[in-house]
Amino acid sequence: MRMRPTLDWTPAADLPPGTTDLQPVTDALRAGGVLVLSGAGISTESGIPDYRGEGGSLSRHTPMTYQEFTASAGARQRYWARGHLGWRTFGRARPNAGHRAVAAFGRHGLLSGVITQNVDGLHQAAGSEGVVELHGSLERVVCLSCGALSPRRELAHRLEEANAGFEPVAAGINPDGDADLTQEQVADFRVVPCAVCGGVLKPDVVFFGESVPPRRVEHCRELVREAAALLVLGSSLTVMSGLRFVRQAADAGKPVLIVNRDRTRGDLQAVARVALPLGTALTTVAARLGVPVDGLGGAAD
């Protein structure tokens, strides 16, 4: 299914208000079998901005589409120059309390799985296992000609060699690892080809306007079918790639719970939306359940 390049949506006037009551989330996790669906909002406390929240990157940055990337050598030069610089900062990000709480819930058998729309690898760095990366990962690079996969760190080394002295100052870093640079700053950047066949390299992520691999989508649908409840963390659910799983769960009569400070496109399907910071909310729930996060336990309620 093609991921539409939807950048925004207009909330309906009849969306239910958010709450600060964490009891529904606590109860669902206590019962177990919860499937987590996370978005960019869970990584903001790690220093990675989200797309649409307050101060989100879409206020200053339009993500490159798959069509732009594949059609234009100039677009690929801009992407790789900005992505190369962004990778240095992006790669230094560390899991925050929200990621660590999700990992703790998994270790204690409360989750049936984790699907993330993020490409930052922070769930895995926090200790979550079996994470489904819906939109891929910045840790890998794929050749559009021969399909060869290679580690991003190898490409970073090749780009360093080809662009000695490339040290521009970026205005900001975006959720896709793209740094904000001007055309003048990227004009002399050299892009390197696939080391296997000389083809065009692309990060192994789903760009706006690109299709999520069908087998990956079906795997996620199966996880939704097997779950007792769906817990959405830090996603506006603006794009259909995540919203479809919320609709699937709701249509099957499974409770959908959302923790997101702003309204989301899935609020009408949710039992409740908790409008609290994710790190605070999830560590509070962990304490209520007596689940230790980073070795710090909490009394059960």
Task: Please indicate, yes or no, if residue 31 is contained in any of the structural domains.
Answer: yes
218 is in an annotated binding site: no
Q: Is residue 252 part of a domain?
A: yes
State the total domains in the chain: 2
Does 106 belong to an annotated binding site?
no
On whether both 126 and 243 belong to a single domain, the answer is yes
CB-count exposure of residue 253 (10 Å: 0-12, 13-18, 19+): exposed
Statement to judge: residues 251 and 152 lie in one domain: no
Same domain, 43 and 130: yes
Strand order in the sheet with 136-143: 149-151, 136-143, 201-205
60 pLDDT higher than 50: no
User: Does 234 show up as a binding residue in the annotation?
Assistant: yes
**Position 98 confidence tier, pLDDT thresholds 50, 70, 90:** very high
Q: Is 39 labeled as ligand-binding?
A: yes
On whether the CB atoms of residues 141 and 155 are closer than 8 A, the answer is yes
- 131 and 272 fall within a common domain: yes
Q: Is 83 exposed, middle or buried (0-12, 13-18, 19+ CB in 10 A)?
A: buried
Share above pLDDT 90 across residues of the chain, in percent, rounded to a whole number: 70
Instruction: Pick the more confident residue, 297 or 200.
Output: 200
Q: What is the DSSP string of 148-181?
A: -EEEHHHHHHHHHHHTTT--PPPS-B-TTS-B--
Give the three-class secondary structure for 223.
Answer: helix
Q: Residue 145: which CATH number?
A: 3.30.1600
Q: What is the pLDDT of residue 59?
A: 43
Asked if 172 and 289 sit in the same domain, the reply is no
How far is CA 208 from each of CA 26, 62, 108, rounded to the nearest angstrom? 34, 10, 35
Q: What is the pLDDT of residues 9-58, one digit of tens each?
A: 566 657 778 999 999 999 999 999 999 999 999 999 998 876 545 544 44
Q: Last residue of some domain: 205, 222, 238?
A: 205
The residue segments making up the domain with residue 88 are 62-92+139-205
Is the per-residue pLDDT at 247 higher than 90?
yes
The mean-pLDDT minimum among 78-87, 139-148, 161-170, 223-232 falls in 161-170
Q: What is the model's pLDDT at position 227?
A: 98
Residue 57 domain-assigned?
no
CB-CB contact of 90 with 153 (8 Å): no
Which of the pair, 176 or 269, is modelled with greater confidence? 269
Bigger pLDDT: 211 or 105? 105
pLDDT at 57: 43
Residue 229 lies in a domain: yes
**Residue 64 confidence (pLDDT):** 85
Q: What is the pLDDT of residue 58?
A: 44
Q: Are 256 and 270 in contact (CB under 8 A)?
A: yes
Q: Are residues 219 and 300 in the same domain?
A: yes
Last residue of a domain, one of 160, 186, 205: 205
On whether 119 is known to bind a ligand per the annotation, the reply is yes
Mean pLDDT estimate for the chain: 88
Residue 120: other Cβ atoms inside 10 A: 25
One domain for residues 240 and 266? yes
The answer to the question of residue 162 being in a domain is yes
Determine the Cα–Cα distance for residues 195 and 201; give it in Å rounded to an integer: 9
236 annotated to a ligand binding site: yes
Q: How many CB atoms lie within 10 A of CB 237?
A: 26
Looking at the fold, whether 178 and 300 belong to one and the same domain comes out as: no
Give me the active site residues, please. Answer: 135
pLDDT band of residue 301 (cuts 50, 70, 90) is very low
Q: Could you report the per-residue pLDDT of 122-163, keeping only the tens digit for each? A: 999 999 999 999 999 999 999 999 999 999 999 999 999 999
55 falls within a domain = no
In a domain, 53, yes or no: no
Residues 85 and 107 in one domain: no
Domain boundary among 205, 236, 253: 205
Q: Are residues 147 and 262 in the same domain?
A: no
184 & 211 share domain:
no
Q: What average pLDDT does this structure show over 246-275?
A: 96
- The answer to whether 145 is a known ligand-binding residue is no
Q: What is the CATH number of the domain that holds 243?
A: 3.40.50.1220
> How confident is the model at residue 54, as a pLDDT?
52
Domain shared by 84 and 29, yes or no: no
* Residue 50 assigned to a binding site: yes
Residue 118 among known ligand-binding residues: yes
* pLDDT in the model for residue 70: 95
Query: What pLDDT is attached to residue 21?
Result: 97
Residue 151 lies in a domain: yes
Is 45 annotated to bind a ligand? Reply is yes
